[in-house]
């Protein structure tokens, strides 16, 4: 009885005490594996083809997380899985940092990152389950901006703060221009080791915080089920998902909405770091981190929060196409950067502001659409996981091929190609039907 009262007290806390922090914890592993690891391995001298392929492949758990999402509804509480995965992820990042000094560091790090990806994908399922179970539909819309903002703040902390720190430490350990290759490699390994261990400690602290502050996310299922019964349940949940109205249109929609982003995501860090003689901007890790952590931070948070209130006021149905338009603004920014290769930091900063505001503003619409038009029903947590997994497949596959495309086309024409790749997103978003009533 005492435990029940305690859980009730926690669940009555203002969502502002846990929504920002838990979605910050959600964003960190995804961004580090998807973006920061690209710069880390580039600095360590790994080939671009290996970087783009393996850092895309390890993201697979975010695509196929729907396969184990029903298990999270059948065992323990959603809070248990959120906290456990945060602790596992923290330990994993610390081990990645320590592994950078091993002879076969790339193989070991990729294996550890694959484990982190599985933990992070599981964390996403349970976190979204808590969000949907604890908040009403109106509160979901009200806090969707905060959710997106702090997920994107994690992106800023990772791609901005951690990358800047790595660049500063690189110089501290002697990794300056003109240094011998072995000195550069040692300096990069030491710098990124410190960064990864610090990231691991941060994830562990978030896990301990959410032990106290996170609500349970609904009652757990007490019935003990056999493996066969659980598998049957998975099949039923999957079957129910594909029986939803307009589901195949929705699947195409969530894939195409981010299709162009899938091509850009892996290439952008390489483009920023590549030398000007090969079409890049020639920025250091410290410069990249500084641009993202200053220009990008404010634009990202502002875009995410404004989008939440924009949708809450006008309704998702009336705003979705405009959100899609704003979401695709970053591809225009990178096209301009690749063609003009500005050296002036103001111009680079303006392009990054456009990128981060557009991404923060537009992504909120897709998230809320999946929550309110695809997920509702008996298995909303699992069905939201199905939808977000399919969405990530639409990002992962182009990402695996993006390196080959950029090598073939060159940065200038590669980014023009991504502009063409946005056309299907505009068309399918304009005509997408709504199954459920759209509340402002």
Q: Would you list the DSSP string of 354-366?
A: HHHHHHHHHHHHH
For residue 89, pLDDT over 90 is answered with yes
- Do 196 and 247 fall into the same domain? no
Shared domain check, 264 and 177: no
Does 7 reside within a domain?
A: no
Q: What is the pTM of this model?
A: 0.77
194 located within any domain: yes
**pLDDT interval class at 1 (50, 70, 90):** very low
- Beta-carbon contacts of 355 under 8 Å, excluding residues fewer than 6 positions away, are 296, 299, 329, 330, 333, 334
Whether residue 162 has pLDDT greater than 50: yes
CB 211 within 8 A of CB 83: yes
Query: Can you state the angle between helices 297-314 and 316-327, rounded to 10 degrees?
Result: 160
CA angle 79-85-90, nearest 5°?
Answer: 130
Domain boundary among 199, 223, 247: 223
Which single residue is written with the structure tokens 């182009």?
Answer: 398
Domain-located, residue 1: no
Q: What is the pLDDT of residue 388?
A: 81
> What number of helices (H) and strands (E) belong to the chain?
21, 0
Could you read off the pLDDT of 234-258 as tens digits, one per residue? Answer: 788 888 888 888 899 999 999 999 8
Q: Are residues 321 and 250 in the same domain?
A: yes
Question: Is the pLDDT assigned to residue 4 strictly greater than 50?
Answer: no
- Predicted confidence (pLDDT) at residue 267 exceeds the cutoff of 60: yes
344 C-beta neighbours (distance < 10 Å), count: 8
Residues 64 and 155 in one domain: yes
Residue 111 has pLDDT above 90, yes or no: yes
Tokens for 134, please give them.
């604890």
Domain boundary among 201, 223, 245: 223
Split into its structural domains, the chain has a count of: 2
- Report d(CA 352, CA 159) in Å as an integer: 12
Regarding whether 229 and 219 lie in a shared domain, the answer is no
pLDDT reported for residue 138: 74
Q: What is the CATH number of the domain that holds 110?
A: 1.20.1250.20
Task: List the domain range (segments joined by +) for residue 251.
Answer: 225-439
* Three-class SS state of 239: helix
Q: Other C-beta atoms within 10 Å of 434: how many?
A: 14
Average pLDDT over every residue of 192-220: 88
Does residue 185 share a domain with residue 138? yes
- Domain finish residue from 197, 223, 249: 223
Residues 217 and 99 occupy one common structural domain: yes
Q: Distance (Å, rounded) from C-alpha 53 to C-alpha 56?
A: 5
pLDDT over 50 (residue 6): no
């Amino acid at each position: 009885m005492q435990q029940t009262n305690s859980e009730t007290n926690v669940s009555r806390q203002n969502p502002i005490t846990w929504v920002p922090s838990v979605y910050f914890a959600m964003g960190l592993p995804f961004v580090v594996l998807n973006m920061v690891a690209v710069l880390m391995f580039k600095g360590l001298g790994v080939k671009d083809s290996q970087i783009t392929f393996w850092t895309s492949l390890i993201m697979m758990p975010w695509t196929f997380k729907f396969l184990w999402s029903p298990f999270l509804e059948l065992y323990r509480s959603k809070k248990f899985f959120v906290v456990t995965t945060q602790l596992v992820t923290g330990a994993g990042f610390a081990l990645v940092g320590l592994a950078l000094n091993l002879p076969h560091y790339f193989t070991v790090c990729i294996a550890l990152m694959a484990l982190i990806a599985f933990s992070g994908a599981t964390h996403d399922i349970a976190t979204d389950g808590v969000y949907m179970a604890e908040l009403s539909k109106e509160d979901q819309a009200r806090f969707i901006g905060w959710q997106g903002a702090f997920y994107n703040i994690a992106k800023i902390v990772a791609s901005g703060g951690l990358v800047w720190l790595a660049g500063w430490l690189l110089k501290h350990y002697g990794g300056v221009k003109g240094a011998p290759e072995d000195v550069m490699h040692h300096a990069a390994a030491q710098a990124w080791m410190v960064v990864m261990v610090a990231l691991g400690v941060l994830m562990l602290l978030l896990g301990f915080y959410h032990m106290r502050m996170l609500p349970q996310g609904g009652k757990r299922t007490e019935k003990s089920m056999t493996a066969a019964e659980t598998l049957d349940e998975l099949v039923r949940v999957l079957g129910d998902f594909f029986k939803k109205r307009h589901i195949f249109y929705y699947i195409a929609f969530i894939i195409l909405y981010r299709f162009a982003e899938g091509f850009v995501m892996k290439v952008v860090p390489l483009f920023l770091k590549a030398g000007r003689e090969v079409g890049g901007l020639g920025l250091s890790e410290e410069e990249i981190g500084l641009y993202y952590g200053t220009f990008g931070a404010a634009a990202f948070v502002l875009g995410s929060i404004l989008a939440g209130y924009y949708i809450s006021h006008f309704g998702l149905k009336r705003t979705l196409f405009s959100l899609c338009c704003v979401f695709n603004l970053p591809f225009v920014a990178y096209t301009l950067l690749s063609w003009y290769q500005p050296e002036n930091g103001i111009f680079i900063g303006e392009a990054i502001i456009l990128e981060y505001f557009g991404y923060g503003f537009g992504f909120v619409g897709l998230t809320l659409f999946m929550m309110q038009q695809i997920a509702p029903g008996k298995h909303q947590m699992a069905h939201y996981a199905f939808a977000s997994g399919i969405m990530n497949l639409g990002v992962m596959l182009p990402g695996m091929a993006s390196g080959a495309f950029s090598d073939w086309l060159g940065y200038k024409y590669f980014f023009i190609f991504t502009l063409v790749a946005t056309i299907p997103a505009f068309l399918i978003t304009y005509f997408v039907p709504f199954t459920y009533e759209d509340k402002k």
